[in-house]
Amino acid sequence: MEKRFIDVTLPIDKGMPIWPDSTGINFSWTHCLNKGGMVNLTRLDMDVHAGTHVEGPLHYYANAISVDEIPLEIFLGRALVVDLPAVDKITANDLEKLSLPKGIKRLLFRTKNSELWKDFKQSFYEDFVGLSSSAAQWVVDKKIKLIGIDYLSVANFKQGRSVHKILLNGGVVVLEGLNLLMAPAGEYEIICLPVKLIGREASPARVILKKL
């Protein structure tokens, strides 16, 4: 039976790929039944940009809104998964070839990055596919409200700053670290629930796609 819901969230686990200068993820027991504790109780130390996460304007702009201030309706509603399996960098020319359904304001980019998630314990991969500055400007010009991508940054490894600034200054919410391997191109309803971290620039999120 075909699944109606697709969980495109990366599992949080020590040893998962993280950004090179990230503090990453660490679990530790503060109480443990096997060591005489009354309960099991875990402490989590985590970079909020690890795994699947949402980024808002505060990531690059000092006085911008934090992730908890982004309207919830941006994270819920129709979304289009677009398949770009053969590109090394997403350009405006690639996006111009898309035929966007009327009213689509959320775009999720499925690239060859998703194949990397077959091996969840692989090392960080520098040559992942991301958006160019021209693609970021295209997204802003089309008044897209949310974009997501299937690796840890929406921009190529060495172009992060310029691409992020174009998107975030243009009112686009960025969703990074998706696993779209099991999500074919097409329309979905997205359910994206970032943790309500007050005053922060980013937040881990659980992201589900519902087939329409």
CATH at 150: 3.50.30.50
Enclosing domain of residue 90: 5-10+48-211
> Mean of the pLDDT values across residues 127-143?
97
Mean pLDDT value of segment 9-34: 92
Residue 43 belongs to a domain: no
Question: Would you call 8 helix, strand, or coil by DSSP?
Answer: coil
Q: Is residue 30 part of a domain?
A: no
Quote the pTM value: 0.94
Give the model's confidence band at 87: pLDDT under 50 very low, under 70 low, under 90 confident, else very high: very high
pLDDT at position 79 is 98
In a domain, 130, yes or no: yes
Residue 83's Cβ-count burial label (10 Å; 0-12, 13-18, 19+) is middle
Query: Which of 3-7, 159-163, 179-183, 197-201 shows the lowest mean pLDDT across its residues?
Result: 159-163
Q: What is the token pair recorded at 130?
A: 């991301």
Could you give the number of structural domains in the chain?
Answer: 1
**Mean pLDDT of all residues belonging to the chain:** 94
Largest separation between any pair of C-alpha atoms in the chain: 62
In a domain, 141, yes or no: yes
Is residue 1 over pLDDT 70? Answer: no
